[in-house]
Structure formats: C-alpha cells, structure tokens
C-alpha cells in the first residue's frame, strides 16, 4: 500500500501545501508514510487537473488517496464527480479524508476480512457522495452570494472590481520584458498563467486598471 497525498488550492495566491504537515502527521498516527505528494493550484470545479491526473496514473490497486477534506478533491457537479469517482475506483484506490472518519479504515490492512471491507466500503461510498454533494452546494451558494453582492454594489455605485496588485504587475512585466515565456513568468512570479496573460494584455493596452 502506497499513501499518495493530494493537496489543492483554488488560486495561485493560496498555499496549496498548507495542509502537508497535517496529512503527514495523520499518516504517522496510522503507522504509514506518505509515498508521494501531489500539489497544485487549480479549481475543484475542474476535472482535468494535472497533478490529480498524475496521481491517478501513478496509482496501483490498494493505494490510498489521502486528502484533508473532500472539497480538496472535488467541488464538481454530480455527473463529473461520478466520472472522477469511477476513475478512482477503477484504479483500486481508497479515498481517505481527514474530515470523514468513516474513510479512515482505508489506512488499515483488512486483508482476509471481506465482510468488514464490503460493509465499511458501502458506508464510506455513501458518505463520500454526500460530502461531495455538500462541497458542490457550498461552492454554488458562495458564488450566488458573491454575484448578489457585486450586483448590489453596482446598483449603489460602489463596485470597483478586484484591486490591482501593482507589485505583481510590475514583476510580471519585468519578466516578460526580459524575454521569459508565459509559463516561466508565472512560475517565477508565483501566479497563474491566466494572470500573466491578463497583465500582458493590459500592459499592451497601456492600462493597469
């Protein structure tokens, strides 16, 4: 059994590796060692995440996919979650989430106890689906509240959009001017390629607003 830790944050400004020490301590408490860490900044609403796909490609039957919480693994709509879960099941992976106690049995060797494995597996699958649905609902509700807040601010004439990070703009502009490509610039500036493209386009347009 290999324990593979998956850590995700939604944006480049967030620390995707924040929970690394917590996951490592959890593995230690279960007398296990994390064999590999897969860390990325990508939305949980996106199914084709580079590091998650790499984790699936590396995995073998009986390995553990360890996450801090189910929302780190998925905020996908029901159909996309079902496809991802089918891929995970197809690889023979056990999902273990720190916030889902019923999944913790996946860290134990239950060889020879088929009844317990099947019973706990059925309970855990049900709980995983429920937690994934809650994660998606939470995402949709937050998006709806944000949209309502923006609309209200626009009506009141108070909405100005996201403030410009002047230092980041300057750093990205310098790197691009030095001849670095978009991906290399994003890596050195510690931001997303989308951010680099936006800054490049704004700079070419002569405005940072």
Are 204 and 172 within 8 A, CB to CB? no
Cβ atoms of 2 and 56 within 8 Å: the answer is no
**Could you identify the residue written with the tokens 């649905």?**
133
Question: Counting beta carbons within 10 angstroms of the beta carbon of residue 48, is it exposed (0 to 12), middle (13 to 18) or buried (19 or more)?
Answer: exposed
Task: Give the whole-angstrom CA distance, residue 46 versus residue 106.
Answer: 26
Of these residues, 10, 87, 192, 203, which one is catalytic? Answer: 10
- What length is written for the chain? 209
Phi, psi for 35 (deg, rounded to 5): -80, -30
Whole-number Å distance between alpha carbons of 140 and 133? 11
CA distance 150 to 172: 28
93 and 67 in contact (C-beta within 8 Å)?
Answer: no
Under a CB-based contact definition with an 8 Å cutoff, are residues 40 and 52 in contact?
A: yes
In the residue annotation, 87 being an active-site residue is answered as no
Strand partners, 64: 3, 94
Name the residues annotated as catalytic.
Answer: 10
């Amino acid at each position: 059994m290999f324990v593979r830790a998956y850590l995700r944050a939604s944006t480049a400004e967030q620390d995707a590796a924040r929970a690394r020490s917590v996951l490592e301590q959890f593995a230690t408490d279960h007398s296990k060692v994390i064999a590999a860490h897969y860390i990325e900044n990508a939305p949980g609403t996106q199914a084709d995440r580079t590091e998650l796909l790499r984790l699936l490609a590396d995995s073998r039957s009986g390995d553990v996919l360890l996450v801090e919480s189910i929302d780190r693994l998925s905020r996908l709509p029901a159909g996309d979650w079902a496809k991802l879960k089918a891929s995970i099941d197809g690889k023979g992976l056990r999902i273990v989430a720190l916030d889902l106690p019923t999944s913790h049995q996946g860290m134990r060797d239950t060889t020879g106890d088929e009844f317990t494995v099947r019973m706990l597996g059925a309970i855990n699958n049900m709980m995983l689906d429920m937690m994934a649905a809650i994660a998606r609902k939470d995402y949709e509700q937050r998006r709806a509240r944000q949209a309502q807040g923006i609309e209200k601010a626009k009506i009141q004439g108070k909405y100005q959009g996201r403030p410009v990070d002047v230092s980041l703009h300057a750093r990205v502009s310098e790197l691009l001017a030095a001849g670095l490509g978009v991906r290399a610039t994003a890596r050195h500036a510690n931001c997303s390629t989308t951010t680099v493209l936006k800054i490049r386009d704004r700079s070419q347009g002569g405005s940072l607003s």
